[in-house]
């Protein structure tokens, strides 16, 4: 319910309503339940809102290692997600996804209680939904900051 922190939820809800034949899961935390949900899949995309210093609505693709080496990511809540995933890959390497993409959508406002994201974040959600469709239907999935 916190405005732009809903970005990942919005992406999942739009994908669920589309004709794309993929599983979606909304997870309201970044703890070990993430690993439980993604183990056994070959190809996973994680979407999360972030506040790392880019202009609102910026979509950034990161790796688990990026989260620990990029100063802006290391001081954000993305570091908890990164730690969770790193533990999963260390403990269960054969069960974790072979392909993992993490997209962060730069939030503008985390604090207002509303189900409506900021306009720039809504535009980013549109771009990420299109990117996911291209990824799973064989199109190009290039991203930029």
3-state class (DSSP) for residue 29: coil
Terminal Cα-to-Cα distance of the chain (whole angstroms): 26
pTM above 0.85, yes or no: yes
Q: What integer pLDDT is reported at residue 144 of this predicted model?
A: 47
What is the reported pLDDT for 129? 97
Give the C-alpha separation, 96 to 11, whole Å: 22
Spatial separation of the C-alpha atoms in residues 60 and 103, rounded to whole Å: 6
Residue 77 pLDDT level (bands cut at 50, 70, 90): low
Among 23-27, 30-34, 58-62, 125-129, whose mean pLDDT is lowest? 30-34
- Cβ-based neighbours of 71, under 8 Å, separated by 6 or more: none
Q: Where are the domains of the chain?
A: 3-137
Q: Where are the alpha helices (DSSP H) in 44-118?
A: 64-69, 71-74, 78-91
Q: How confident is the model at residue 2 (pLDDT cuts 50, 70, 90)?
A: confident
Tell me if residue 12 falls in helix, strand or coil.
helix
Q: Are 4 and 57 in contact (CB under 8 A)?
A: no
The overall average pLDDT reported for the chain is: 89
Q: What digits encode the pLDDT tens for the residues 28-56? A: 888 889 999 999 999 999 999 988 889 99
> How confident is the model over 101-136, as pLDDT tens digits?
999 999 998 888 888 999 999 999 999 999 999 999
Quickly name the fold that domain 3-137 has: Rossmann fold (3.40.50)
User: In the chain, what percentage of residues exceed pLDDT 70?
Assistant: 92
* CA-wise closest residue to 36 among 87, 73, 99: 87
């Amino acid at each position: 319910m916190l405005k732009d922190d809903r970005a990942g939820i919005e992406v999942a809800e739009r994908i669920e309503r589309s004709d794309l034949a993929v599983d979606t899961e909304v997870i309201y935390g970044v703890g070990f339940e993430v690993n439980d949900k993604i183990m056994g899949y070959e190809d996973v995309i994680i979407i999360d809102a972030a506040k790392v210093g880019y202009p609102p609505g910026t979509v950034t693709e990161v790796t688990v290692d990026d989260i620990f080496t990029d100063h802006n990511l290391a001081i954000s809540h993305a570091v908890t997600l990164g730690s969770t995933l790193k533990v999963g890959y260390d403990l269960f390497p054969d069960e974790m996804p072979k392909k993992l993409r993490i997209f962060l959508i730069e939030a503008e406002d985390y604090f207002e209680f509303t189900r409506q994201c900021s306009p720039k974040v809504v535009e980013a959600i549109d771009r990420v939904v299109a990117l996911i469709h291209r990824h799973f239907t064989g199109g190009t999935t290039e991203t930029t900051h």
